[in-house]
Amino acid sequence: MKAGATARRPFWRRVLWNLVWPRRRERTQPTVSGLVLMGLAFGIGTAAYNSASNILFIALALLLSCLILSGVLAWLNLRGVDWALEISPPLRAGQEAGVGLRLDNRKAFLPTYALWFDFAARPVPLGEPPRPESTLTAKGIDVWAALRRSEEPEASGTVHMRSRLEPGGHAMLEWAFTPARRGLMRVDLVGVGSLFPFGFLRKFAGAGLRREVPVWPAPVEYRRLAGASPRRAEGDLRRARAGHEGEMIALRQYEPGDSHRLIHWKASARSRELLIRQFSAHNSEACTMVLSPDAEVWTRPEQFELLVSFAATLAQDLFRAGRLKATAIGGARPLPVRRAADVDSFLDRLAVVMPQPPADGPAGEADRPARAGQNVLTFEPEGARGVGAYANGHRIAAT
Amino acid sequence: MDTGSQRLSLDELSLLRWLLGGVLMLLSISAVFYMDVGGGVMAALAAAGVIAALVRPDWPARVPALVHRLAFPAIVAFFIGDIWVTGQPLPAIVRLDLLLILYRGASYRARRDDLQVVVIGLFLIVVSGVLTVSILFAAQIMAFTACALALLMVVTIATAAEGGAAPKLAVRGVVPHWAARVDWRGLMRRLAEASDWRLIASGAALFLGVVASSALLFLAIPRFQLENSLFLERFVVRRAMSGFNDSIKFGDITEITDDDSVAFNADISDPGQAPADPYWRMVVLDAYSNGGFRMSPRTRYGYGLVGQRTGANIYPPPPAPGGPSWTIFMESGVSRYLPLLGPFRVLRFREAQNYHYSPDLEVISLVEEPASMTAYRVEGMPADGAPIPDRAFAASYARHGRLALMDTTLAGVSQGDRRVLARIAAGIGDARVLGARAFAGKAIAALRRDHQYSQEPRYPPGPGDPLVRWMDSRDQGHCELFAGSLVLMARAAGLPARVVTGFRGGTWNAYSGNYMIRNSDAHAWTEIWDEHAQAWLREDPLGSAVDGLAGSEKGDAALAALMDRSWSARLASLRVFWYRRIVNFDQQDQAQTLSAVKAAGDNSGRWLRSVLLELGSRARGWATGPWNAGKIGRLLGALAAAAVLFHVLALGRWRLPALGGRRGTDPVRREAGRWLRRVEGPEALVLDLQRIRYGPAPTWPRPADVFRRARRAASSRPRRGAPSRNTS
C-alpha cells in the first residue's frame, strides 16, 4: 500500500487541488510552538511595517522561511514511506492481539523520523443491515450524536516510531488491542502523523488502510462429565483418519498451526521442505460436531454467545485429542477436519454465526452422520444460562 | 524496528538537547554585550551560570527546592523594581530576559521551557539588531536560527523516542540519568557515528535553503510603511561616545584620532568627482574661552538650532547648484551632528527623524544621540570646498559688526593676551588691505613656520591663555591648536572666524568602492568670513601638511592615492554591503531589484534562445552533411551516454559512495571487518565480530564492547616476527 495513494493528475494540478479540497483526514494543525512562532511573526511583522526597520524584516523573513521549511521537511519526511497492515490471525475475543505495521522507506537519500500511527478497530455489524430511518423529524444534535457513535471505535491507539527509518530501510511496528467480542473486526490505520521537524505543525496524512479479520469466540471453561464419552462405532473399530496415533499413513506439506513434533525431519531435509507425518488414528471415538443456531432454541443472546464460545473451545480440545472428525453449523453439510486449518475455518465460521430461524421442511445434511451411525456432538441449553454438549444424546460436557 | 547502535540513545539525545539549549542561551547573552542598555554585568553573570551548568549538568539538581520556589517571584519583583528605579522599560526587559535565561540555564528544562529559551533569545537578538544595526546581527541571527532549529528537531526526535511523551522534567533534587556522568567527547564521537555524510549534507542544504528563502522573502515582502510609530530606540537613553559635541577642549579631537575604527562610510554616485581630500563638516564652534571653543547660545538661537523639526527629507531654502549624490552610513556613537561636505540640494533619511537644521550654518544635528548606524542620502552636494554662503550672518554683520549673529569676538581673552594677539596679527599684515584669503594664507604660513604638527602638543608654562601662550611660542601642536590659533589671529585682525570640527580625508575602499572615514581622520580647521564673497572660507592651517595630499585632484587620480586594499578594508566592505543592501533596502530598491531580476530573466531567455537556435542550425548542418563510420560511431556513443545519464538521473538508480569508504557499508560493519583481519581468536570474539560484520543489526552484541575485546586481543597477540615465549 502506498503512502497517500495518488490520483493520476499532474503534480501541480494535484497540489493545487489538494489545497482547495484536501483529502479526507489529511490536515495540518499548528502546535503550541507553531502558534507561538506565528504570533512572533505577526508581532515582528507589525513592528517591521511600523518602523520600516530592515532588521525586523530580516527576522520576519527568517521566521516565515522556518515555517515554510518546516512544511517542506514534513512533506519530505512522509514522502516515499510505504506502510502495510500485517495482521496474523487468530484474533480471539478477550485476548490481546497484535496488529503489525510494516514500514518501508523508499527514499534513497533521507531517513524518516518521528512518525506516529493512529489505529482503530471497530466491529463490522453482522446480520442484515438496519433499515434506514427518516431523519426528517430527528433533531440535528441527535443525528450528529448517532453519527459520532457510529464512528466510535471499539479500540483505538497510537504507535510511535521511536527511531529513525533509514533510507531504503524497513521497520515493523505493532499495535496491541483486545477485541471485546467475537465477530468480524475492521482494523483501520486511521492516519499517520508527525511533528517532524521542529514541532511547529502537526501533520496528519490519511492512510486509508483497512483490514477485516474474524475474531474467534472467547474460550470458556467447561466441565467434562466423568465416564461420559462418545460411544464406539459398532463393527470394525479401527478407522483410518488423520490423527496423532497409530501408523503413519502419509506425509504432507507443513501448514501453519501444525505441531512441530509431527515434522518428519529426515524427509524434510531430503525434499528441502517441511513435511508433516500423518497417522492412522486408532480412535473410534471421533465425532462430528453439529451446532444448531436455532433462534427458537437459543432465545437468550448471552446464552447463544456462550454456546458459540463453548463450541469453539470444545472443537479445539477435541482436535488436539484427535477426536474431531467433522464440523457443521445449522443444516449445512459437515466439513471434515483433517488439519489445523480445518479447525480454524470452523472457528472463522463460528466468529460470525448468528441465531437463525428454524429451517422449514426436511432435515438438512447435518444429521447424515447420525444416520450413518457416527458419533454426533450437539448442544442444548441448560437452564437459563448454561449450555450442555451431548454426544449421541449423552451429556458429556457442560459450562 | 531496526535499532542499530549508531542511533543516539535517549540519554544522548537529552544531553545534546542540554548542550544546544546552553549554546542558544550563550548566543542570546552575547547579543546583550552589543546593546548599550547597561546589562553587561548581568549578562556576564548569566553567561557564567549557563557555562557552569553546561560543564556540570548535575549541578542544577543540587539547587535547593526553595530557590526554585522563590525564583519567579524574585525575578518579577526585580523587574518591577528595575522599571520603578530606572524608568526605562527596554533595559528592564533585557535584564528580565537575562534573569530568565540564567534561571532556565541552571534548571532542567521541559519542552515548553526550551521554547521559552528560543523566544527570549530571539527577542534579545532582534532587539540588539534593531538597536545596533550591526552586521554582527546577521551572523548572530544565522547562528541562532541554526541552533534553535537543531534544538527543536532534537526535542521532536526525543519526544518520538519516548513514545510521544514530551521529554520529562527531572524530579527536583534528583540528578537525571543523562546528567549523572557526562562525557562530551563521547557524545561528539557518538554524534559522528550516528550521522552519515548524507544527513550532514542534507542538513547543510536545508540550512542554506533557509538562508536563501529568507533572502528571497526579504526581497519580496511588500514594503509599505504605515507610520513611524514604533521606535525601539526611544526606549533607551543613549550617550555619546565621541568628542564631536557642541563644545570641545583642546585635545578632544586628538583623543578621537587615537581610535582607528570606522566612523562612517560614504558612497558617491559619480566616482569621477570624488575629491582627494574631502572635509566633512560637523560642528561649528564660535565662542572661545580658556583654551576651548564651544557653540555659543547666540549661534544656537540665531541660526535656529533650537527648534526641533521632524521629517525624512531636508530641503535647504536655496538649493545648491548641484553635484554628486552621497550616501553616508554613520556608525553609532560618533556624533549626533551629521558630516556634510557643504551646501546640498536635498538630504533624505531612511526614516523620519527629529533634527535641528540651520541652512546658513550648514549644520544638521539629530535631537537624539543615535545608538545605531544612521544612514542618509545627500543629493547635489559638491565636494569642491567652495566658500559657504551665509546670508544671515552677512545681514547681521552689516548691521551689528563684530556683535553679529555669531560670537566672533575675543571676549574670552584677557587684555594682556589680546595685546599679544594684536602683536602677532600685526606681524602678519593688515587684514583690511590683504583681504580674508590673503591674510589667512600669511597667517598659516607664519603658524607653520613657528610650529611643528604633532599629536603630542607642548604648552609653554606661564600665566595667561594657553592657546595664546602656544601661539607665542615655537612648540609643536595638533590640529586644534593650529585651527584655534588661526581663529584668534583672524579675530585679532578684525576678521570674523570660527573653528569647524569634523573629518578630513579618509581612504577609498577598493572592494566596496566607497570612502571609508575612520575616527583617526578626525580634524579641526578654520572658517574665515570673507566680506566680499559674503561667505565663509575654509582655511586649514595644516593644509596638506598632515599627509601631503593635493586637495585639488579628483576622480581616479585622487582615488589612486587613497586606495585601501588591506584586510580591514575587506572586512569593512562586508559592513558596507550590509548597510547598502540590507539595512538601507527600501521600496525603491525593491522595485529596482525586481526590475533587475526581470531584466536578467529576459536577457537569459534571449541568450538561451539564441544558443538553442545556433545549436539547432549546427545540428541541422551536421545531419545533412555526409555520413561515415566515425559519424555513426559518435552518434551511437552520444546515444549510449544519454541512456546512461537517463538511467542514472531519471530512474534514480544511483548511490553515491559513502565518504572515505566503500559503497554504503555501515561504518560499524567496516570496523568489525578491520578487526576480523587483525585478530584470530578467541573464537567467541571472532564470532561476535562476524555477527557485527555480516549479521542483522538487531542481533548485534554491543559493538563498543566487542571492539574493546578485539583491541585487547590484538595487543596481547605476539607481534609478527617476535619470538614466542616458549622458544628459547
Q: How many Å lie between the alpha carbon of A149 and the closest alpha carbon of chain B?
A: 27
Q: Report pLDDT for A145.
A: 75
Q: What is the mean pLDDT of residues A98-103?
A: 90
Q: Do A52 and B225 touch (CB under 8 A)?
A: yes
Q: Do A50 and B119 touch (CB under 8 A)?
A: no
Q: Report pLDDT for A4.
A: 42
In which element (H, E) is residue B374 found?
strand B374-379
State the residue for C-alpha cell 497540489.
A15
Which residues of chain B have a CB within 8 Å of the CB of A108?
Answer: 652, 654-655
The backbone torsions φ and ψ at residue A213, rounded to the nearest 5 degrees and listed phi first, read: -130, 145
Which residues of chain A have a CB within 8 Å of the CB of B2?
Answer: 163, 166, 169-171
What the block records as the C-alpha cell of B178 is 543523562
CB A344 within 8 A of CB A176: no
- Nearest chain B residue to A100 by CA: give it: B1
What are the DSSP calls for B406-470, one per residue? S--S-TTS-HHHHHHHHHHHHHH--HHHH-HHHHHHHHHHHHHHH--B-SS-----SSS-HHHHH
Across the interface, which of B126, B226, B582 has its CB nearest the CB of A44? B126
Which pLDDT tens digit goes with each residue over B189-217? 888 887 777 778 888 888 888 889 998 88
What the block records as the C-alpha cell of B63 is 539547587
Say whether pLDDT at A21 is over 50: yes
CA–CA separation, A261 vs A277, rounded Å?
9
Does B85 lie at the interface with A, CB-CB under 8 angstroms?
no
Which residues of chain B have a CB within 8 Å of the CB of A36?
Answer: 115, 119
CA distances for B644 relative to B68, B631, B636, B638, B640, angstroms: 66, 20, 12, 10, 6
Which residues of chain A have a CB within 8 Å of the CB of B202?
Answer: 109-110
Q: Report pLDDT for A127.
A: 65
Q: Report pLDDT for B725.
A: 35
Q: Do A109 and B227 touch (CB under 8 A)?
A: no
Q: Do B145 and A66 touch (CB under 8 A)?
A: yes
Q: Report pLDDT for B321.
A: 72
Distance of CA B205 to the CA centre of its chain: 26
What angle (nearest 5°) sits at the alpha carbon of residue B114, between those of residues B108 and B119? 140
Which residues of chain B have a CB within 8 Å of the CB of A195?
Answer: 156, 159-160
Q: Report pLDDT for B44.
A: 93
> Is the previous residue joined to A167 through a cis bond, with omega within 30 degrees of 0?
no
CA–CA separation, B679 vs B686, rounded Å?
8
Interface size, chain A vs chain B, as Cβ–Cβ contacts under 8 Å: 157
Q: Do B224 and A56 touch (CB under 8 A)?
A: no
What angle (nearest 5°) sits at the alpha carbon of residue B143, between those of residues B350 and B513? 45
The CA R_g of chain A, rounded to the nearest whole Å, is 30
B268, β-bridge pairs: B326
Does B206 lie at the interface with A, CB-CB under 8 angstroms?
yes
Across the interface, which of A64, A158, A199 has its CB nearest the CB of B164? A158
Q: How many Å lie between the alpha carbon of A190 and the closest alpha carbon of chain B?
A: 17
> Is the previous residue joined to B682 through a cis bond, with omega within 30 degrees of 0?
yes
Beta-strand relationship, A170-177 and A97-105? antiparallel
* Residue B666: burial class (beta carbons within 10 Å; 0-12, 13-18, 19+): middle
Q: Report pLDDT for B603.
A: 93
What the block records as the C-alpha cell of B273 is 568627482
Which pLDDT tens digit goes with each residue over B664-673? 557 788 888 8
Q: Do A108 and B654 touch (CB under 8 A)?
A: yes
Q: Do B221 and A33 touch (CB under 8 A)?
A: no
The CB density around residue B446, as the number of other CB atoms within 10 Å, is 20
**Residues written for chain B:** 728
In which element (H, E) is residue B486 found?
helix B479-492
Q: Do A59 and B129 touch (CB under 8 A)?
A: yes
Q: Do A32 and B137 touch (CB under 8 A)?
A: no
In which element (H, E) is residue B358 found?
strand B346-358
Mutate to test the interface with B, among A37, A46, A55 (most CBs of B within 10 A): A55
- Nearest chain B residue to A171 by CA: give it: B1
CB B24 within 8 A of CB B147: yes
3-state secondary structure of B549: coil
Q: Do A56 and B225 touch (CB under 8 A)?
A: no
What are the DSSP calls for B221-286, one per residue? S------S---GGGGS-----SS-SSEEETTHHHHHHT--SEEEEEEES-GGG-BSS-EEEEEEE-
Q: Do B3 and A163 touch (CB under 8 A)?
A: yes
Q: Do B138 and A73 touch (CB under 8 A)?
A: no
Does B585 lie at the interface with A, CB-CB under 8 angstroms?
yes
The CA R_g of chain B, rounded to the nearest whole Å, is 36
Across the interface, which of A47, A62, A64 has its CB nearest the CB of B141? A62
CB B502 within 8 A of CB B521: no
CB B86 within 8 A of CB B33: no
3-state secondary structure of B12: helix
Query: Using CA of residue A56, residue A59, residue A61, residue A64, what is the dihedral sign?
Result: negative
CA–CA separation, B481 vs B695, rounded Å?
88
CB B341 within 8 A of CB B383: yes
Across the interface, which of B111, B141, B652 has its CB nearest the CB of A108? B652
Three-state secondary structure along chain A? CCCCCCCCCCHHHHHHHHHHCCCCCCEEEECHHHHHHHHHHHHHHHHHHHHCCHHHHHHHHHHHHHHHHHHHHHHHHHCCEEEEEEECCCEECCCCEEEEEEEEECCCCCCECCEEEEEEEEEECCCCCCCCCCCCCCCHHHHHHHHHHHHCCCEEEEEECCCCECCCCEEEEEEEECCCCCEEEEEEEEEEEECCCCCCEEEEEEEEEEEEEEEECCCCCCEECCCCCCCCCCCCCCCCCEEEEEEEEEEEECCCCCCHHHECHHHHHHHCCCEEEEEECCCCCCEEEEECCECCCCCCHHHHHHHHHHHHHHHHHHHHCCCEEEEEECCCCCEECCCHHHHHHHHHHHHHCCCECCCCCCCCHHHHHHHCCCEEEEEEEECCCEEEEEECCEEEEEC
Q: Report pLDDT for B658.
A: 42
CB A251 within 8 A of CB A217: no
Q: Which of B163, B195, B157 is nearest to A195 (CA)?
A: B157
CB A339 within 8 A of CB A253: no
Using left for φ > 0, alpha for ψ between -120 and 50, and beta otherwise, residue A189 falls in beta
Using left for φ > 0, alpha for ψ between -120 and 50, and beta otherwise, residue B363 falls in beta
Which residues of chain A have a CB within 8 Å of the CB of B157?
Answer: 113-114, 164, 196
CA–CA separation, B692 vs B704, rounded Å?
11
Q: Which of A102, A33, A107 is nearest to A67 (CA)?
A: A33
- Nearest chain A residue to B111 by CA: give it: A33
Q: Within 13 Å, how many C-alpha atoms sit on residue B11's CB side?
A: 14
Which pLDDT tens digit goes with each residue over A343-357? 889 999 999 999 888
- Nearest chain B residue to A60 by CA: give it: B218
Mutate to test the interface with B, among A57, A62, A159, A195 (most CBs of B within 10 A): A62
The CB density around residue B51, as the number of other CB atoms within 10 Å, is 15
Distance of CA B25 to the CA centre of its chain: 21
Q: Do B159 and A56 touch (CB under 8 A)?
A: no
Residue type, B673: G
- Nearest chain A residue to B207 by CA: give it: A69
Three-state secondary structure along B324-338? CCEEEEECCCCCCEC
Across the interface, which of A53, A65, A72 has its CB nearest the CB of B130? A53
Across the interface, which of B119, B149, B199 has its CB nearest the CB of A198? B149
Cβ-Cβ contacts under 8 Å for B123 (sequence gap 6 or more): B97
Please write down the long-range contacts of B710-716, taking CB distance under 8 Å and 24 or more positions apart: B710/B675, B710/B678, B710/B679, B710/B685, B713/B679, B713/B681, B713/B682, B713/B685, B714/B675, B714/B678, B714/B679
Q: Report pLDDT for B659.
A: 41
Q: Do B145 and A161 touch (CB under 8 A)?
A: no
Q: How does residue A217 score in pLDDT terms, banded at 50, 70 and 90? A: very high
CA–CA separation, B550 vs B387, rounded Å?
18
Q: Within 13 Å, how many C-alpha atoms sit on residue A169's CB side?
A: 20
State the residue for C-alpha cell 518546516.
A70
Say whether pLDDT at A30 is over 80: yes
Query: Using CA of residue B114, residue B116, residue B120, residue B123, what is the dihedral sign?
Result: positive
Residues of chain B below pLDDT 50: 1-5, 227-230, 240-241, 545-550, 653-663, 719-728
